Amino acid sequence: MKAPANAEPQNESFKNKGMLIAGLMIAMLFASLDNTIVGTAMPKIVGEMGGLGLITWVTTAYMLTSTTVVPIAGKLADLFGRKLIYVLGILIFIGGSALCGVAQSMEQLIIFRGIQGIGGGVMMPMAMIIIGDLFTGKQRAKWQGMFGAIFGLSSVIGPQIGGWIVDSVNWHWIFFINLPVGFAALAFIAAGLPRHKSSGAVTIDYAGIVTMIVGVVSLLLALSLGGKNYPWASWQIIGMFILAVVSLVLFVRIESRTSEPILPMHLFKNGTFTKVNGIGFFMSLGMFGAVVFVPLFMQGIVGISASASGTVMMPMMLALIAASVVGGQFVYKIGVRRQMVAGMVIAAVSFLLLSTMDQGTTRLLASLYMIIMGVGIGLVMPLLTLILQESFKKEELGVVTSSSQFFRSIGGTFGITILGVIMNHTSSGELGNRLTPIINDITSSDATQAFKEKTLGLIQTDPQALYNSLLNKEALKQIPADAVNKIVPVLKSTLVDSLHSVFLYGLGFILIGAILAVFLGSIKLKQRSKEEKQEAALQTAESH
């Protein structure tokens, strides 16, 4: 006999809410911190172990496994209970962190980061799922905003914490720090979460898991490697795209027929489910592009340092945190659709402003544009999960919550890749037209001839590499002295034009999300449940 997917216990079954929420916050913070802390340590890691050519895979390995496992974790949480899956995810993350800390080569570190990503992919959606179990209506909106703020906070403090650890101790503690924090979160969560009571055997959708993993990993690998490690038209990239399409088609067929699908296809018949995840996808498509390319603009065009460009991004994250918290309360005054549309329009305005930046743009003005983006994204982000949780029955809470995280992760991956391709294509054409005549006019000598041949080759194959001279003083010294004043202004002007194209395409993606928000329909958020009201009354009485 197969048991149906069991819902988690209702609110009154959570005996230690305070302890549980503390554990959730700790787990959310240290899981999301790991994305930003590692970037600061990478120069030290490469300096000690070598493997500069593999540096991007340290991030890619984590991204591949964490993104792929998100919807699987949500479904397993519905089947086996939150406690078992969450505790297992934390243990995998802690184990992966310990292995990363003792890695002796870049290859080992990449493998161990993949293991760590499996745990992270379980942990990230589980906090939102459990908040959905704990609260309804206004309380749920408040806590979704708070946890969204914690995620944003990690982006602000991560690089600073990472730099402090690397400078004060060594890079190994970037990963070892997860062990005591992880065990503390584990203790709180294990004590606070109730045990899941199953009524019989559970059917697991193994075929769906396999086809989904193969499809998503193939797609992400093709997007990550295409145009960098292999040409887009190479058999390797085309083969991975074909494998992704075939696997995902099989996945859809399997999910349409199995009794306990990982991602039930009937959810896509629900207009709210499709539109909300579409909004999350396109929002991430644009947002991640801005997060990557604005620092490039500030360092390459304005000429500030890497750490100073980080201060330009910080106001965005602080604004996102504030808007997430305020938006969780404000939504009850203006309604879901109005706040969603307002947030997307504000984000669109920020992209329009970013597309006007030029060589005279100041750090203060760029920070203002990023604050506007942070406000827009912050008003939207907490609603994406909240709407889905309010629109579906409790038995499907895990899978619909994890779907929100999944589509945003995929959107971010697509955004970085697509906008990178747009920038590369624009750069190639513009640099070819503007820079080639200047390079050909340089007086030939043994040194300058080698420079000319290398530069003309990069214009055709990897134009972005030419911008290194704007970011690296050592690379700038490789340009012949008599050509610097001619070449650098061309590089800056073409980079400005290329980034304008990136921001305008990002604007297009955000506008698509705004249109979806307009057609979202009327969504009513539930007020607090009877149990929550009784608990609030009890707490008030106890306080007196």
pLDDT for 515: 94
Query: Do residues 416 and 506 lie in contact, with contact meaning Cβ atoms separated by under 8 Å?
Result: no
For residue 455, which amino acid is it? T
Judged by DSSP in three states, 35 sits in helix
**Residue whose token pair is 């304005």:** 302
Query: What is the CA angle 365-324-119, rounded to 5?
Result: 110
pLDDT for 246: 96
Tell me 278's DSSP state. Answer: H
299, two tokens: 């360092």
pLDDT for 156: 62
How far is it, in rounded angstroms, from Cα 243 to Cα 303? 43
* Cα–Cα separations (whole angstroms), residue 244 to 86, 213, 223, 247, 251: 29, 9, 11, 5, 10
Query: Do residues 289 and 296 lie in contact, with contact meaning Cβ atoms separated by under 8 Å?
Result: no
532, pLDDT greater than 60: no
228, pLDDT greater than 60: yes
**Sign of torsion, CA 510 513 515 520?**
negative
Classify burial at 432, counting beta carbons within 10 Å of its beta carbon; exposed 0-12, middle 13-18, buried 19 or more: middle
Q: State which H helix or E strand residue 65 sits in.
A: helix 55-80
| Higher pLDDT pick, 305 / 399 | 399
**Sign of torsion, CA 65 277 504 363?**
negative
How far is it, in rounded angstroms, from Cα 147 to Cα 86? 16
pLDDT for 240: 93
**Residue whose token pair is 């406690």:** 83
Indicate the range of 327-336, 354-363, 386-395, 476-485 predicted with least confidence: 476-485
Query: Do residues 412 and 292 lie in contact, with contact meaning Cβ atoms separated by under 8 Å?
Result: no
How far is it, in rounded angstroms, from Cα 427 to Cα 431? 6
For residue 74, which amino acid is it? G
Q: How confident is the prediction for the chain on average, in pLDDT?
A: 79
Indicate the range of 30-34, 179-183, 325-329, 468-472 predicted with least confidence: 468-472
The model's pTM: 0.74
Tell me 396's DSSP state. Answer: G
Query: Do residues 78 and 203 lie in contact, with contact meaning Cβ atoms separated by under 8 Å?
Result: no
50: left (phi over 0), alpha (psi -120 to 50) or beta: left
Of 460, 402, 399, the residue nearest 431 (C-alpha): 460
| Higher pLDDT pick, 244 / 386 | 244
Q: State which H helix or E strand residue 522 sits in.
A: none
User: Per this entry, what is the length of the chain?
Assistant: 544
Of 208, 182, 207, the residue nearest 88 (C-alpha): 182
- Which tens digit of pLDDT belongs to each residue from 19-76? 888 888 888 887 777 766 776 677 677 777 776 556 667 877 887 788 788 888 888 8
